[in-house]
Chains A and B, each alone.
Chain A
Amino acid sequence: MTASALAAEPKRPEPLKSGIDFSGAEVRALQQDDFSSPAMLWITRGEKLWNEPAGKSEKSCAGCHQDARASMKGVSAKYPKVDPGTARLTNIEGRINQCRERNQQTAPLRYESDELLALTAYVGMQSRGVPVNVVIDPQNQRNFRRGADIFYTRMGQMNLACTHCHDRNFGRKLLNDTISQGHGNPYPVYRLEWQTMGSLHRRLRACFFGVRAELPPAGSQDLLDLELFLAWRSQGLIVETPGVRK
């Protein structure tokens, strides 16, 4: 995907609605119940991992960041963020792996592995109820532009852009599904179709697959830039992590 002049000026959907508002009553009930929500299994695991020493440093996440319930509150609402050290856009998954490599001195976790999903969800959950709030500044301006570019550019054999479903047709049916506005505020989510937890990048790849476009790898620059654009686009929606979706 190359940078081109935008077909449209980036806009937020009006009125802004979370994906849960387009979900059925059963899915909504499942997300609201902190015991029967299967996503909570990953939270339990994430909490264990948070307190477990890892790597050569033999330090746990809690060793530096203490109690996640206090130290991670509101953090994921501000992500993805440009890392000052590498000057690269980083999401929560990337930030966790960076900490593992730099500070814990151990191997990064594989994207989409149960462990990384568990930690990401556990960190994300501490921001539940906090409004998404990313700031577009000179450091991430380029990423934002590229993300918007992907969102508004037609792609794949279907020749559709994200905007065609998620801006122009939200609330309408695509087969048996109601089209949402395509926000990232509940991720990682437990998706009933997947029968497991999945990252935002997995969900984005599913959409790329849906329009028969080339799939960018999870954690790739394309998807990170798109993640930033989506965060800007969902500004003000509350974080729902860990969400449940059909």
Chain B
Amino acid sequence: MSVARLLVPPRAKRGELVEIRIAIQHPMETGFRMDNMGKVIPKNTVSNLVCRYNGTEVFRAEMGSGIAANPYLQFYIVARESGAVEFSWIDDRGEKGSASAVITVTA
């Protein structure tokens, strides 16, 4: 079980830049480490992350072994209409996660 957190301001004015913050609990195994027996721990990173605003893709990230464990992302979108901001991710082992939040846009 993995945890993902998403922070979206609940209210915004139309045309306003809003900050989106994402945090995912993930080990981000680089594939370069070995366990106590000397066996290589297979690479397992969040390979793909997509964020959608009312169904439209607004942000995409492909993360590799250069990103630290428990990645944190922050970016901005323009508030156009009320609706859902959601994101989903998938890692090298096929594990998935998602989170969503609602934003209310006023004139």
Cross-chain contact A40 with B69 (CB below 8 angstroms): no
Q: Mark A158-200, 1 if CB is under 8 A from B, else 0.
A: 0000000000000000000000000000000000000110000
Cross-chain contact B69 with A195 (CB below 8 angstroms): yes
A41-49, A84-92, A148-156 - interface stretch: A41-49
Nearest Cβ distance between residue B47 and chain A, in whole angstroms?
18
**Of A36, A41, A45, A196, which is in contact with the most chain B CB atoms at under 10 Å from its CB?**
A41
Q: Mark B9-39, 1 if CB is under 8 A from A, else 0.
A: 0000000000001011101100000000000
Interface size class of A (residues with CB under 8 A): 10 to 19
Residues of A within 8 A of B7 (CB): 35
In the bound complex, CA of A45 to CA of B27 (Å): 15
In the bound complex, CA of A196 to CA of B28 (Å): 11
Cross-chain contact A41 with B5 (CB below 8 angstroms): yes
Cross-chain contact A36 with B69 (CB below 8 angstroms): no
Chain A residue at smallest Cβ distance from B1: A45
Residues of A within 8 A of B5 (CB): 35, 40-41, 44
**Given contacts A36-B72, A195-B70, are A44 and B3 in contact (CB under 8 A)?**
yes
The answer, yes or no, to whether B68 is at the interface (CB within 8 Å) is: yes
- A-B pair number, CB within 8 angstroms: 36
Cross-chain contact B23 with A41 (CB below 8 angstroms): yes
Nearest Cβ distance between residue B102 and chain A, in whole angstroms?
17
Residues of B within 8 A of A38 (CB): 23, 25, 70, 72
Q: Which of B59-88 contact A (CB under 8 A)?
A: 68-70, 72, 74
Nearest Cβ distance between residue B27 and chain A, in whole angstroms?
7
Q: Which of A8-56 contact B (CB under 8 A)?
A: 35-36, 38, 40-42, 44-45, 48
Residues of A within 8 A of B24 (CB): 41
Residues of B within 8 A of A42 (CB): 3, 25
In the bound complex, CA of A40 to CA of B3 (Å): 10
Nearest Cβ distance between residue B97 and chain A, in whole angstroms?
11
Cross-chain contact B69 with A45 (CB below 8 angstroms): no
Residues of A within 8 A of B28 (CB): 195
Chain A residue at smallest Cβ distance from B74: A36
Chain A residue at smallest Cβ distance from B23: A41
Please name 17 pairs of A and B residues whose Cβ atoms are closer than 8 Å in the assembled complex, sorted by A.
A35-B7, A35-B23, A36-B23, A38-B70, A38-B72, A40-B23, A41-B3, A41-B5, A41-B70, A42-B3, A42-B25, A44-B3, A45-B1, A45-B3, A48-B3, A195-B69, A196-B70
Other contacts beyond A36-B72, A196-B69: 17, CB < 8 A = A35-B5, A35-B7, A35-B21, A36-B23, A38-B23, A38-B70, A38-B72, A40-B23, A41-B5, A41-B23, A41-B24, A42-B3, A44-B5, A45-B1, A45-B3, A195-B68, A195-B69
* Chain A interface residues (CB < 8 Å from chain B): 35-36, 38, 40-42, 44-45, 48, 195-196
* Chain B interface residues (CB < 8 Å from chain A): 1, 3, 5, 7, 21, 23-25, 27-28, 68-70, 72, 74
The 10 tightest CB contacts between A and B, nearest first, are A195-B69, A41-B25, A38-B70, A45-B3, A41-B3, A44-B3, A35-B7, A35-B21, A36-B72, A44-B5
